[in-house]
């Protein structure tokens, strides 16, 4: 089974690791931090201090995104051949190019949710508009480009399939879930309608692509050897399209009111019917993924950047459950959103602490 492989070049006379190991998978840390902020914004329960906590996490995710963009620019300048090989020749690393657009979109949404109180509504709106536009274009590029490379250039077998293959095609779902927040700020009429319809198109593109790939992924998991321990956290990635599509249908139902009032009742019914069914599947898979990871942990699962898979996919289920609570009024979904958010907080804390420790010791960039 293909696994993520990083390079280990050294600068100078072996004094320090270079940035050749800084692949696109590092954006998962930005995604995981931003989704904690976005989950705080969506929670139906509002304990004291939650907004301030969300602002702190938004600031951390924005700072991490800026630092990573700069570091990746240096990486692409100094290690162009390594980056090209990772995209075109290594299918195990190419799929992680789905992470950068999702990081842009998640941070943009968090900026609009928490930025107005800190930097003002105008600047927050401008940042989100730029990040959503860039992230959506990037998402469409990887959602089409990576499968194209998998078909025409990469040499893959069915038993190689694993949940990381979903990363490129989930990116349009993130755009569909975050775009509706911009609808109320657009001029009434054609602009709002175009944004709403565009987000529904993104939802369809990401959802149908996921439905095409997911059976292949499940088949690969069933018919290949067990996942390597370091890759076992990737099982949580299956939650991503489930939670994100539920979130997207809920957000689109909210946006239909100001954009297309005639469609709003149907959009609300669709979001409830779809969301309840898919959330049930997500919770079933959460049990499967948690059990498999507990088994791998007992067997000595080492820390790797794949541990960030514990965060963003669970966060999409938080926002999905929160949307269902808002639309149905059912307290059970509110309780589910809170329980999942507590799980998300624990996962983020562990992944963040271990990542900082790995960076301080230089292990992660040398892995």
CB 91 within 8 A of CB 154: yes
First-to-last C-alpha distance (Å) of the chain: 18
Weakest mean pLDDT among 28-32, 39-43, 79-83: 79-83
Which tops the pLDDT comparison, 187 or 18? 187
- CA 230 from chain centre, in angstroms, equals 19
Cβ-based neighbours of 329, under 8 Å, separated by 6 or more: none
Q: What pLDDT shows up at residue 10? A: 37
Convert 203-235 to b/e letters by CB count within 10 Å (16 or more is b): bebbbebbeebbeebeebbeeeeebbbbbbbbb
CB 4 within 8 A of CB 97: no
Average confidence score pLDDT of the chain: 91
User: What is the pTM for the complete model shown?
Assistant: 0.92
Weakest mean pLDDT among 82-86, 129-133, 229-233, 327-331: 82-86
SS3 at position 17 = strand
CB 182 within 8 A of CB 259: no
How many other CB atoms are found less than 10 A from the CB of residue 10?
Answer: 12
- State how beta strands 16-17 and 10-11 pair: antiparallel
- For the cut 90, the answer to whether the pLDDT of residue 112 exceeds it is yes
Query: pLDDT grade, residue 156 (50/70/90)?
Result: confident
Tell me 11's DSSP state: E
Query: pLDDT grade, residue 225 (50/70/90)?
Result: confident
The residues pairing with 10 across neighbouring beta strands, listed in sequence order, are: 17
- Around 86, how many Cα atoms within 13 Å sit in the side-chain half-sphere? 22
From the number of C-beta atoms within 10 Å of its C-beta (0-12, 13-18, 19+), residue 283 rates as middle
- Cα–Cα distance list, 300 to 229, 294, 295, 297 (Å): 8, 10, 9, 5
Tokens 């069933």 locate to: 222
* 263-317: pLDDT as tens digits: 999 999 999 999 999 999 999 999 999 999 999 999 989 999 999 999 999 999 9
In the predicted model, what is the mean pLDDT of residues 180-189?
95
- For the cut 70, the answer to whether the pLDDT of residue 18 exceeds it is no
CB 35 within 8 A of CB 316: yes
Q: What is the CATH superfamily name and number for domain 24-353?
A: Voltage-dependent anion channel (1.50.10.150)
- Any alpha helices (H) in 224-330, and if so which ranges? 239-259, 264-298, 312-328
Integer Cα distance of 219 and 262 in angstroms: 42
Integer Cα distance of 4 and 95 in angstroms: 10
CB 36 within 8 A of CB 311: yes
Query: pLDDT grade, residue 85 (50/70/90)?
Result: confident
* 323-341: pLDDT as tens digits: 999 999 999 999 999 999 9
* 345-354: pLDDT as tens digits: 999 999 999 9
Q: What pLDDT shows up at residue 159? A: 81
Of 129, 106, 98, nearest in space to 36 by CA? 106
The secondary structure of 38-83, three-state, reads HHHHHCCCCCCCHHHHHHHHHHHHHHHHHHHHHHHHHHHHHCHHHH
- For the cut 80, the answer to whether the pLDDT of residue 86 exceeds it is no
Q: What pLDDT shows up at residue 15? A: 42
């Amino acid at each position: 089974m293909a696994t993520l492989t990083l390079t280990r070049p050294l600068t100078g006379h072996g004094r320090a690791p270079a940035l050749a190991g800084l692949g696109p998978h590092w954006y998962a840390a930005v995604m995981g931090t931003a989704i904690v902020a976005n989950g705080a914004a969506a929670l139906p329960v509002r304990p004291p201090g939650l907004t301030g906590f969300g602002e702190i996490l938004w600031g951390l995710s924005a700072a991490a995104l800026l630092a990573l963009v700069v570091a990746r620019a240096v990486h692409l300048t100094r290690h162009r051949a390594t980056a090209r090989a990772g995209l075109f020749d290594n299918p195990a690393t190419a799929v992680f190019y789905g992470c950068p657009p999702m990081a842009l979109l998640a941070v943009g949404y968090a900026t609009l949710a928490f930025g107005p109180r800190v930097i003002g509504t105008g600047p927050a709106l401008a940042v989100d508009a730029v990040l959503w536009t860039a992230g959506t274009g990037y998402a469409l590029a990887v959602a089409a480009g990576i499968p194209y490379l998998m078909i025409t250039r990469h040499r893959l077998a069915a038993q190689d399939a694993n949940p990381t293959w979903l990363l490129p095609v989930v990116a349009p779902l993130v755009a569909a879930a975050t775009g509706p927040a911009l609808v109320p700020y657009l001029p009434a009429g054609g602009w709002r309608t175009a944004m709403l319809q565009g987000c529904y198109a993104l939802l369809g593109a990401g959802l149908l692509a996921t439905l095409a790939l997911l059976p292949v992924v499940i088949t690969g998991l069933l018919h290949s050897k067990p996942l390597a321990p370091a890759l076992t956290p990737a099982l949580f990635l299956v939650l991503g399209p489930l939670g994100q599509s539920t979130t997207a249908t809920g957000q689109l139902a909210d946006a239909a009111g100001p954009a297309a009032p005639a469609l709003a009742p149907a959009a609300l019914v669709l979001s409830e019917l779809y969301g309840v069914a898919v959330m049930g599947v997500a919770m079933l898979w959460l049990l499967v993924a948690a059990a498999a990871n507990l088994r791998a942990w007992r067997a000595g699962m080492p820390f790797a950047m794949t541990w960030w898979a514990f965060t963003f996919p669970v966060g999409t289920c938080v926002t999905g459950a929160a949307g269902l609570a808002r639309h149905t009024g059912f307290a059970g979904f509110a309780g589910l959103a809170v329980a999942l958010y507590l799980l998300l907080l624990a996962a983020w804390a562990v992944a963040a602490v271990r990542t900082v420790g790995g960076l301080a010791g230089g292990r992660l960039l040398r892995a």
